[in-house]
Structure 1
């Protein structure tokens, strides 16, 4: 059963000259996507710097991993490959998302970064599963591992990943792509720590299965990061409300504002990282100042929920007559299956 909210305010005499308002209003022209003022050009420079570090080290790590016969090093290189791919996807997506809206793409290509983030998440899940299988095989039948090579390469990887993490930490992490790349490199840093420990154990004790155990740690981190990306991008593609927002709370708050009778068809969704939209059908009490109420509701939404892209359709209550609005038939103005908020005080 849908929650219903109405205002407790008593109707007042109709005001003259009020008009039906259906507004699509990005309030105050607030920017989307760059929450702390980092420019897109600066983001690209930070991403390219991190990418150069990762690619150079990854190539060397594959060679050393083959020489040392270390699955942990090769799995680390695979993780770094996905990190590099995520940064490349982010760079391409940033370029596509910056294109202006045209033709049938009325929002432009702003969801390109969500597509790339989801692709990166799938890649992480696949690689994580492969490395889990290979690690299980090596736990049963472990090969000889050169612990000295493993330890030296892992310590170098820690330094490289610290530099790459620092570079990405300066970019705009409100973007799902940038944040995803940052988390991947951070996870890779933890993986190198595990690999270094494995190399030290092999050197000092001869326990070669430590390499496979470190590989399992790397694989679990990859699976965790991949699932997180799939979950977040899936919410966006399914047009779910951002996890930090509760539509019912927003609907109740809007319905409780002066001059508002009911709120129907409230929808909150995220087009892409940092670009949240809201639409609602608002029924007003007779005699309300439609323009003033619309502006007040938009200010409330922006101030309390940081949503700057709102579409509010205003009407008088169904069956009630108000100059400037006329009579409204609920069947034509509201989706009978959509959210419908009414205060119990009414």
Structure 2
């Protein structure tokens, strides 16, 4: 099933990236900043699709002696670079839009409309291609959301082109470009912040490390728990380590699987390392 989904993503990536280049060229020729802004939005989505494709390839690539976690963080670095470059693009679009509001320029609404309609058709094909795949696949579901966002952007560009043709209000173009830029900055900022969280090995969202440590200490057979750490390896793959001390009479070997299963059930953490310390060991380790 992953092979089928990978092919679908590859087709949609080619359509999205190819049309983004056409849209940027059309925006430059027609003078439409809105088309250029939406091309930036589509490039961001093409990058997201590319990262999803890389995920499938990386999943098949085994770890080696020097990269024991494999090459998963390459995706994080790519996402960070993608988000940072998009924020720079948004800053330029915002500056240019303000300039055009103060000093309007001519926009060729006809070519703008043609390019926007082509974009709508491309996005409809892409959405249908992904919709007919396995929507239980997180990669595919995320890609579908991106394409739907592009589809809505094309609808907005069509509305602006028609509005300019009917009213002559070229100010609609920079106003729409600001709206599209806001959509871009939202996704770009999310990429940057999520990437930084992963690279800083912050605790996964929704996990309170101190509370989790206290709850582990309440598990049957556990006397003490400490030095709990959890971080995101990539996407939803999380890793955790913790030290525990067994209660008197408790089989120390029974605690690692108990704690690991509890963390998996409570926080969906699949990779857990549990160190069993003798009584007083946690106090000594803290010093």
> Scaled by the length of structure 2, what TM-score is found?
0.89
Residue aligning to 2:184: 222
Residue aligning to 1:267: 229
CA distance in 1, matches of 2:50, 2:19: 16
- Confirm or deny that 1:103 pairs with 2:55: no
Residues 84/295 of structure 1: CA separation in 2 closer, same or farther (3 Å cut): closer
Residues 78/258 of structure 1: CA separation in 2 closer, same or farther (3 Å cut): closer
Q: For residue 277 of structure 2, give the secondary structure of its aligned residue in structure 1.
A: strand
> Offset of 1:69 from its aligned partner?
2.0
CA distance in 1, matches of 2:29, 2:282: 77
Residue aligning to 2:126: 164
Residue aligning to 1:146: 108
- Confirm or deny that 1:207 pairs with 2:169: yes
RMSD across aligned C-alpha pairs, in angstroms? 2.4
Following TM superposition, the consecutive aligned residue runs of length 4 or more in structure 1 with deviations greater than 6 angstroms are none
1:289-329 Cα deviation digits (max 9, x unpaired): 122233222222222222121100112321xxxxxxxxx47
1:271-292 Cα deviation digits (max 9, x unpaired): 1112111110001112111222
- Confirm or deny that 1:79 pairs with 2:41: yes
> Offset of 1:229 from its aligned partner?
0.7
Q: For residue 126 of structure 1, give the secondary structure of its aligned residue in structure 2.
A: helix
**What count of residue pairs does the alignment treat as equivalent?**
285
1:98/1:109 contact within 8 Å kept: no
Q: For residue 307 of structure 1, give the secondary structure of its aligned residue in structure 2.
A: coil
> Offset of 1:219 from its aligned partner?
1.0
- Kindly indicate whether structure 1 or structure 2 has the higher relative contact order, using CA contacts under 8 Å at least 6 residues apart: 1
Please identify the structure whose Cα radius of gyration is greater.
Answer: 1
Residues 308/134 of structure 1: CA separation in 2 closer, same or farther (3 Å cut): same
Counterpart of 1:113 (choices 75, 82, 91) is 75
Counterpart of 2:272 (choices 310, 314, 319) is 310
CA distance in 2, matches of 1:240, 1:179: 25
- Confirm or deny that 1:55 pairs with 2:17: yes
CA distance in 2, matches of 1:257, 1:329: 17
Residues 140/148 of structure 1: CA separation in 2 closer, same or farther (3 Å cut): same
2:256/2:273 contact within 8 Å kept: no
1:268/1:276 contact within 8 Å kept: yes
Residue aligning to 2:156: 194
2:44/2:184 contact within 8 Å kept: no
Q: For residue 283 of structure 1, give the secondary structure of its aligned residue in structure 2.
A: strand
CA distance in 1, matches of 2:130, 2:189: 21
1:43/1:172 contact within 8 Å kept: no
CA distance in 1, matches of 2:169, 2:99: 16
**Unpaired runs of at least 5, structure 2:** none
**Unpaired runs of at least 5, structure 1:** 1-37, 319-327, 337-346
Residues 183/229 of structure 1: CA separation in 2 closer, same or farther (3 Å cut): farther
Q: For residue 202 of structure 2, give the secondary structure of its aligned residue in structure 1.
A: coil
CA distance in 2, matches of 1:108, 1:251: 28
1:118/1:230 contact within 8 Å kept: yes
Matches within 5 A, 1:222-241: 222-241=184-203
